[in-house]
Structure 1
Amino acid sequence: MASLKTIRRLLIAAVLAVPVALLPTAQAHAGVFISVGFAPPVLPVYAQPLCPGDGYIWTPGYWAYNEDGGYYWVPGVWVQPPTVGYLWTPAYWGWENGAYLFHGGYWGAHVGFYGGINYGFGYGGVGFEGGYWNHGAFFYNRSVANLGGVHVTNVYVRNVTIVNHSNVAFNGGHGGIEARPSAQEAQFAHEQHVEATHEQAEHQNFAAQNRSQFASVNHGRPGVSAAATPASFHANPTNPAAAARPSVNAREANQEQRISNGVRSGQISSGQAAHAEQRQANIGQQVHNDRAANGGKLTPQEHQQVNHEQNAASRQIRDDKKK
């Protein structure tokens, strides 16, 4: 009799052999993988790391599956969308035809069906209440987004609606969330979607290489449940406190992107851009010098100073766009 692992591999191969055109829209863009016989663990409870800056969108953590090690946790992270105006539909597991199917997440103009899973931080089971796009700018709901002292341009406060209060990580089947796509979510499924970015794919691959992320090792308590950015997790794969801090490089990249976007839109002149880029270069040189003096790392005080200077730079970029 074939082993359970062999059966799983055959099922996975069978699904991957299905032409993309025959799969539902969300699945066609994100891929479907099968786990047979047992459901993913419950969702871990964790705090959301501080938002790195304007333009970042929260993508919740989820259980992925590795044929050799089983379920492993991919930490929730802040990421930048592939294009302005896109929102993230989280991945979810669903019980279908005697197996647990993994529906990968994707980017699109609207948030589609994600199994009714309560991932928290604006993903309460239906839609996303952590923020919205308006004329190319993202507005953050402070009631669910951890903004701390980071300067973001557009903020509002609105209480969120939670569809379910369970930490169950799958839809359907015994003990699963009983939710089905609404007519609107079904419509969203046929819109144009973009699969996870390269950064997100690398983030999942990195988690798969970290044994402390596997449920068989951590018994449902991942070594790192959430990180500020994928880069923060990569730099601190076993240190949850350090991984939760926005990396200096991520903030610098965000500022550079804002400058570039401002020039393309005509909101920032070439002279203003040159001044802003010089300011970023000065901050980068300061970081380089501090790291060189401290064995390649920044002290907590130096981190605080860099964040203070980046906040000031962020305000200047915002003011330049208004002129």
Structure 2
Amino acid sequence: MKKLIRIGLFIAAIIFASPKIYAQVSVGLSISANIAPPAIPDYDQPPCPVDGYLWQPGYWAYDNYSGGYYWVPGVWVAPPTVGYLWTPCYWGYSGGVYVYHAGYWGPHVGFYGGINYGYGYFGSGFAGGGWHSGHFRYNTAVVHVNTTVIRNTYVDRTVIRNTRVNNRVSYNGGRGGVTARPNSQQQQAMRERHVQATSAQINHQQAASKNRSQFASVNHGRPSVTATSRVNNRVPNRQPNSTAHTRPTENNRATQQHAQQQRAQTQQHAQQQERGQQQRAQSQQQHAQQQRSQVQHQQRAQQNQAQQQQRAQQQHAQQSRVQQQQRAQMQQQPRSQPQHMQAQHASQPHANPGGRGGEPQRHR
């Protein structure tokens, strides 16, 4: 009997433990994986294309049905409302698995696992700028912007850590993970009102999940597209050979400025092409609309002409029926004298057959 109980307990343990081998999606879109995510790839940040856009750093997402971890490129996105900041997602080791904590929008930046995503997200808070009087000011010491369209900038190099750190760990806790814990300010930010990722951010992640070259099983931790200037931008961003994106220093400032100018020129050229395509599309739409208007005008004219012809035919047919009715009535009348003539003839006195000159006959 004891042996049977032990066998039953062993089978139950296998049943309850086996789901941890794969990624799990439960209520609230909780995702966990049995293996740690790869290291954060090294990449250059594209310049911000639109005033008011905020940086969402790239991250590793997980899809058990499509082949494990895949890289979602960093991208500039529009916040859901003025004054909100983006708290990045992170992976945290808990209960023997790596649990995915989704990012969110809120008045303050919360805890994101102490992960050093770079470009202002150095593990705690955000040093890439802030909101002032309804406008976002960009700290160009740590983020790249297109200065031809964005003028609300400042420079604060005190937030830059000048030590070179090659650690690009992408998860918190567990073996080899970041050991950071949320401080009091981050805990308070975690209790504030949050807004989930926008539809553009969700579409951005879904697009990455459909690109096989973004999966770690294919690219071995070096995805083809690491960052992009905006959602649905198909121009890939190159991967640098240094870690300047996490620790900008005085030595590589000139190189960064030159690269930034080149990126700005490339961005301007891309914007010009985009505007040209939009203008051509508008011109084609206007031409198509004019053609539709002409066709509709011709159809209306044909309809009016057909209606006029139909009315004329109806009038002609009605006149013909009236004439036929009149002829039929005339044919049905008798050829004898009219009654008024007969009455007049009856009222006249009869002539005396025996008299002369109309005199009465005398008796003899």
Q: Quickly name the TM-score band, shorter chain normalised.
A: 0.5 to 0.7
| Aligned counterpart in structure 1 of residue 57 of structure 2, from 41, 50, 60 | 60
Q: CA RMSD in A?
A: 3.2
Asked if 1:12 corresponds to 2:10, the answer is no
Aligned to 2:81: 83
AA partner of residue 55 (structure 2): W
> Identity across aligned pairs (percent)?
47
Aligned to 2:279: 288
Cα pair distance change 1:139/1:286, threshold 3 Å: same
TM-score by length of 1: 0.67
Q: Deviations over 1:187-219 (max 9, x none)?
A: 110000000000000100110000000000000
Tell me, what secondary structure is at the counterpart of 2:136? strand
Q: What are the within-5 Å matches in structure 2 for residues 121-140 of structure 1?
A: 121-140=119-138
- CA distance in 2 between counterparts of 1:223 and 1:5 reads 36
Tell me, what secondary structure is at the counterpart of 2:175? coil
Tell me, what secondary structure is at the counterpart of 2:51? coil
| Aligned counterpart in structure 2 of residue 105 of structure 1, from 98, 103, 106 | 103
- CA distance in 2 between counterparts of 1:191 and 1:81 reads 17
Gapped regions of structure 2 (runs ≥ 5) = 1-10, 239-262, 284-364
Cα pair distance change 1:119/1:286, threshold 3 Å: closer
Aligned to 2:251: none
- CA distance in 2 between counterparts of 1:209 and 1:286 reads 26
Asked if 1:189 corresponds to 2:180, the answer is no
Contact 2:23 2:64 in 1 (8 A): no
AA partner of residue 202 (structure 1): N
Aligned to 1:47: 44
Contact 1:71 1:215 in 2 (8 A): yes
AA partner of residue 150 (structure 2): V
1:230 positional shift: 1.1
Aligned to 1:205: 206
Q: What are the within-5 Å matches in structure 2 for residues 1-323 of structure 1?
A: 7-8=19-20, 12-13=24-25, 16-17=26-27, 31-36=29-34, 38-68=35-65, 69-159=67-157, 160-162=159-161, 165=165, 166-232=167-233, 235-236=234-235, 239-240=236-237, 284=275, 287-289=278-280
TM-score by length of 2: 0.60
Q: Deviations over 1:234-287 (max 9, x none)?
A: x34xx436xx865999x79xxxxxxxxxxxxxxxxxxxxxxxxxxxxxx95675
AA partner of residue 80 (structure 1): A
Cα pair distance change 1:219/1:291, threshold 3 Å: farther
1:32 positional shift: 2.6
1:12 positional shift: 1.9
Tell me, what secondary structure is at the counterpart of 1:93? strand
Tell me, what secondary structure is at the counterpart of 2:188? helix
Q: Which segments of structure 1 move beyond 4 Å, counting only runs of 4 or more?
A: 1-6, 8-11, 161-164, 244-249, 283-287
Aligned to 2:292: none
The structure having more radius of gyration, on CA atoms, is 2
